Amino acid sequence: MRLAVIPARGGSKRIPRKNIKTFCGKPMIAWSIHAALQSGCFDKVIVSTDDEEIAQIAREYGASVPFMRPANLSDDYTGTIPVIQQAIEWCQENGFDAQQVCCLYATAPFVSPDDLRRGLGVLEQSGSQYAFSVTSYAFPIQRAIRLTGAGRVEMFNAEHFCTRSQDLEEGYHDAGQFYWGLASAWLSGKIIFSPESSAVLLPRYRVQDIDTPEDWIRAEWLFKAFQAESSPQ
């Protein structure tokens, strides 16, 4: 069986109530729930939250909230893996034994049902412990610079100052949307960023971190552009 877990605690700081703040006409979390349900991948879609309002909205949009997340897993320092572990363990104790589990972030409005289906395919076909969304950096990471305390600049990799961009290896980063994994990998606490994981590559234009009000505005502009593009003329 397959389980989707959408972590959505109530204490977001940089954008208060981010998980249920209205994004292009719906609570933010509704877009992730919709993608999970439409993908057809899951026997159960649950939201892990410590917040009653988030729980109510999640249920309204079709997710299950079978438990409230304990306080010790709801602070600013709790990582993703312990939250998914707790959800899997709760499900096991209550008769639902999932073998494949997808952590789907509540703030991933650009995730699509096709992406989730593709991620499941990568997990199954690769023999990996995890398969998660990634995208490429827009600029060669080998030519990154840092600012010194004196306001000057220096390169992270000065040996590449004269290297042509097209000759540098492309770099990738976590797209922050979804993480498919074997239940056994989650429960054992295996690290996600490791050679035991496979990448599900997304185009850069469908990846947007939403951590600040400026990010939010940009994401809504981009999302509305996608909607306009896909609407029948």
Residue 68 in contact with residue 83, Cβ under 8 Å? no
Residue 101, phi then psi, degrees to nearest 5:
-130, 130
Distance CA 186, CA 161 (A): 41
User: Over pLDDT 90: what percentage of the chain?
Assistant: 91
In-domain check, residue 151: no
Q: Is residue 25 part of a domain?
A: yes
Choose among 167, 12, 188: nearest CA to 84.
Answer: 188
Q: How far apart are CA 98 and CA 42, in angstroms?
A: 10
Tell me the pLDDT tens digit for each residue of 184-197: 999 999 999 999 99
How high is the pLDDT of residue 79? 93
Between 230 and 117, name the one with better pLDDT.
Answer: 117
> Residue 127 falls within a domain, yes or no?
yes
Give the list of residues 6+ apart from residue 167 with CB closer than 8 angstroms, or none. none
What is the C-alpha radius of gyration for the chain, rounded to an integer number of angstroms?
Answer: 19
By residue count, the chain amounts to: 233
- 176 inside domain: yes
Packing angle between helix 52-60 and helix 28-39, nearest 10 degrees? 40
- Report the mean per-residue pLDDT for the chain: 95
- The pLDDT of residue 231: 65
Count of the separate structural domains present in the chain: 1
Say if 156 falls within a structural domain: no
Adjacent-strand bridge partners of 182: 100
| Predicted pLDDT of residue 120 | 98
**Using an 8 Å Cβ cutoff, are 128 and 197 in contact?**
yes
Its domain, for residue 52, covers 2-134+172-230
Distance of CA 83 to the CA centre of its chain: 14
Both tokens assigned to 41: 């991948």
* pLDDT exceeds 60 at position 32: yes
Q: Is the residue at 26 inside a domain?
A: yes
Q: How far apart are CA 147 and CA 157, in angstroms?
A: 14
Q: What is the largest CA-CA distance in the chain?
A: 60
Task: Look up the CATH number of the domain holding residue 106.
Answer: 3.90.550.10
